[in-house]
Amino acid sequence: MSLADEIQKVARRYPESKSAILPALRLAQEEYGWLSREAIEEVGEALDLTPAYCMSVASFYDLFNFEPIGRHTIEVCTNVCCGLVNAQAVLESFERELDIAPGETTADGEITLRAVECLGGCSTPTIVAIDQRYRQSVTPEDVPAILEELRNV
Ligand code: FES
């Protein structure tokens, strides 16, 4: 099934196609790994919406990527609850180990590191999402083992 077909299938669940914009963008990102201008246009065409509208919605959310990302993503929550147990040190540990800053991808294209807002796991900070699977209570000392594990996937 083509991406356009998948988007239109999802859109049929909603009273109007505009309401399917988020699942449609998500489908496009799953298909291509990130939302290029062409992908945004494809979403717009499938939903009969302008690319500008699609982009305005997509750019509001943190979960969409507008440039290619690594094979793996590491997202460190730096919001209040995680910040209180030193999420910044966890983030800095990833930065040191990977030799990149948040928002960057390693030179080999393997890992993208991001600092993000609350991931909804505030009761067990620091939360780190590895390829969208949450790790709880992560400390700076856990970082080398997490990366070792990830590199062997
Ligand atoms: S503040 Fe980090 S998960 Fe909510």
Q: Are 127 and 82 in contact (CB under 8 A)?
A: yes
CATH code matching the domain that covers 72-151, chosen among 3.40.30.10, 1.20.120.80, 3.40.50.150, 3.40.50.620: 3.40.30.10
Q: Which helix (H) or strand (E) holds 113?
A: strand 111-116
CB atoms within 10 A of CB 55: 19
Q: Is the pLDDT of residue 1 over 90?
A: no
The average pLDDT across 59-87 equals 94
* pLDDT value, residue 62: 79
Ligand 1 — pocket residues by CB below 6 A?
77, 79-82, 118-122, 125, 127
Fold classification of 3-58 (topology level): Arc Repressor Mutant, subunit A (1.10.10)
The answer to whether 34 and 72 are in contact (CB under 8 A) is no
Out of 76, 81, 86, 124, mutate this one to test ligand 1's pocket (max ligand atoms within 8 Å of CB): namely 81
Task: Identify the DSSP state of 140.
Answer: G
